[in-house]
Amino acid sequence: MVSLTVRQRDPAEEAPIGEDGFKVFGGHMKKDFLFDPEWTNLNQGSYGTIPRVIQAKLRHYQDSVEAAPDPFIRYEHARLTDESREAVATVVNAPVETVTFVSNATEGVNTVFRNLKWDKDGKDVALYFTTIYDACGKMIDFLYDYHGDGRLSSREIEISYPIEDDEILKRFHEAVKQVKAEGKRPKVCIFDVVSSRPGVLFPWEATIKACRELGILSLVDGAQSIGMVRLNLSEADPDFFITNCHKWMFVPRGCALLYVPVRNQHLLPSTLATSHGYVPQSGKRGAWSPIEAGKSIFVSNFEFTGTKDYSPNFCVKDAIAYRKDVLGGEERILNYLWDLNKKGSKHVADALGTEVLENSKGTLTNCSMANVALPLWLGERNAGVKETEVVVPKEDANRVVTWMMKTLVDDYKTIVPMFWLDNRFWVRISAQIYLDLADYKYAAESLRKLVERVGKGEYKEGVKA
């Protein structure tokens, strides 16, 4: 079992500041985070992490609410929430009245889908792509189960990577055409900004435009987006957009931005769970009394959804200020992440004698994550498999993934998401400001050793307790 220790703060030990007045990105930045000295964090994309200065802000808000719970919750909560809404609106270039917070992207997607009304004639169809995040796919499954057969249906648009952006759009149009030919209505389409597995950039802006032209609601699951790709929501103009602030923005877990243009806010009368801000159609209970003058029902509705720790939301403005004043701003951060992502993943692939998952135009890696093939295959050895590469039986697929991920944690003090794609084994690596090429070299060597151990059959012994 892996044993880890929280890095304690030493004021004399912090990342250096460059001649431009901002922190120098790379391995030295680990000093500003809470990582165990032995841990190499190659998976920012799954759960995120925060620097110590943001942890201090989080503790400050938590201590403040405990110092005087009633005054803080009744009077400070709304002010701090509004300050963070105003700050994040500038990052995504959206009117402040269109942005609010939910706990995570899954909650945001559920909020939209569970508020949408499905016609009684049963002709409404929800479209999604093969790469839909599994939790969101199950949300669609639940709604089908809940409403029963005949109230709504869904349609999967099959894609397999690598694939060109134009081909994705072509398949979307073909799916819509087919749905209509069947006498049904394509009501909403959910798609990613950067998908999870594989972690690649999706042509989300072009898909929003296509949805708008076809009269379909666009629901963008941008769980992986803010802080790792450029966002201009006013220009892209989606119908609904959700993005996790705790993955790439250095905001504590869990905090996500929910963007809904004013034209669509009436479509979301309830938060998830329904709380004080809901205005019943029956008229038995009116609007919540704390609604401030000038605030819309939408903003007030999501502002307070019951008693819980809202401190991560308050930290949004602090994280944005830190990224601007200490790290040099969003463009400086993104330029480093994208460059390291492309160079680092190429190094890993070259070291392993494999490849990076990419299309002909190089758009899949225009983000902060990349996918690298391992010299590991599923099934039988064929002409496409090198003599030096490892092949495991198909029935061992899940066992291999489970063993490799746990062994990577226990023996190499790191982790990367792993998955099979077309009978080949792939890993997803996240670039971040506290990493540099030395970390990618470590990743390559660790993965090489891991594959060698799979070839020797160590995975058959099972996962360590």
Q: Would you state the pLDDT for residue 4?
A: 57
CA dihedral over 83, 87, 88, 94, signed as positive or negative = positive
Over residues 359-390, the pLDDT tens digits come to 999 999 999 999 999 999 999 888 789 999 99
137, 290 contact by CB (below 8 A): no
Domain ranges of the chain: 75-319, 332-460
State the pLDDT at residue 189. Answer: 98
Q: Give the residue from 311, 246, 219 showing the smallest Cα distance to 45.
A: 246
Express each pLDDT in 295-304 by its tens digit.
Answer: 888 998 899 8
Q: What is the 8-class DSSP label of residue 435? A: -
pLDDT of 147 reads: 86
157 φ, ψ to 5°?
-100, 110
d(CA 205, CA 130): 18
Q: What are phi and psi of 425, to 5 degrees?
A: -95, 130
Task: Specify the pairing of strand 424-430 against strand 369-378.
Answer: antiparallel
Outline where 277-366 has alpha helix (H).
297-303, 311-325, 330-352
Residue 114 has pLDDT above 80, yes or no: yes
Using one digit for the tens of pLDDT, what is the confidence trace for 392-407? 999 999 999 999 999 9
Phi/psi class of residue 188: alpha, beta or left (left: φ > 0; alpha: ψ in -120 to 50)? beta
Question: For position 425, what pLDDT does the model report?
Answer: 97
pLDDT (tens digit, 9 = 90+) per residue, 327-346?
999 999 999 999 999 999 99
- Give the model's pLDDT for residue 288: 60
Q: Which CATH fold would you assign to the domain 75-319?
A: Aspartate Aminotransferase; domain 2 (3.40.640)
At 160-172, the pLDDT tens digits run 999 999 999 999 9
C-alpha–C-alpha distance, residues 40 and 138, integer Å: 32
Q: What is the pLDDT of residue 8?
A: 59
Dig out the tokens for 157 from the structure.
């648009």
Provide mean pLDDT across the span 204-214. Answer: 98
- Which contacts of 345-352 are long-range, i.e. CB under 8 A and separated by 24 or more positions? 345/370, 345/371, 345/372, 345/429, 345/440, 347/437, 347/440, 347/441, 347/444, 348/372, 348/429, 348/440, 348/443, 348/444, 348/447, 349/373, 351/441, 351/444, 351/445, 351/448, 352/444, 352/447, 352/448, 352/451
Structure tokens at 426: 């792939």
Query: For residues 25, 30, 31 and 32, what is the CA-based torsion angle, rounded to 10 degrees?
Result: 70
Q: How far is 225 from 82, CA to CA, in rounded Å?
A: 22
Its pTM stands at 0.94
Q: Poorest-confidence range of 286-295, 302-311, 436-445, 455-464? A: 286-295
Pick the CATH number of 332-460 from 3.90.1150.10, 3.90.700.10, 2.40.50.140, 3.40.50.300: 3.90.1150.10
